[in-house]
Amino acid sequence: MAETLKKGTRVTGADREKLAGDLKKRYAAGESIRALAASTGRSYGFIHRILSESGVTLRGRGGATRGKSKR
């Protein structure tokens, strides 16, 4: 689903299932929630909710940790 969705439009029924399937595949392939949000024109929270509803195990946050370095 390459086309962007109109911001604020309600996505229900078959359209929502199709979108969820597409997002699920792209997320599993390594795309971030932020990248998915940007490419669909939806918010981070919307994408997060759709993925959670469709049973995806979300990845942890990446980046540096603040703990002691392990030498």
Q: Tokens representing 24?
A: 């699920």
What are 14-40's pLDDT values in tens digits?
A: 999 999 999 999 999 999 999 999 999
Q: What are the residue ranges spanned by the domains of the chain?
A: 13-53
Residue type at 69 in one-letter notation? S
In this prediction, residue 40 carries a pLDDT of: 93
Distance CA 42, CA 66 (A): 31
Rounded to two decimals, the pTM is 0.76
**Helix H segments across the chain?**
13-28, 33-40, 44-53
Predicted confidence (pLDDT) per residue in 10-21, tens digit: 888 899 999 999
The pLDDT of residue 69 is above 70: no
Residue 62 in tokens: 């990446």
Q: Looking at residue 1, what is its pLDDT?
A: 45
Residue 57 has pLDDT above 60, yes or no: yes
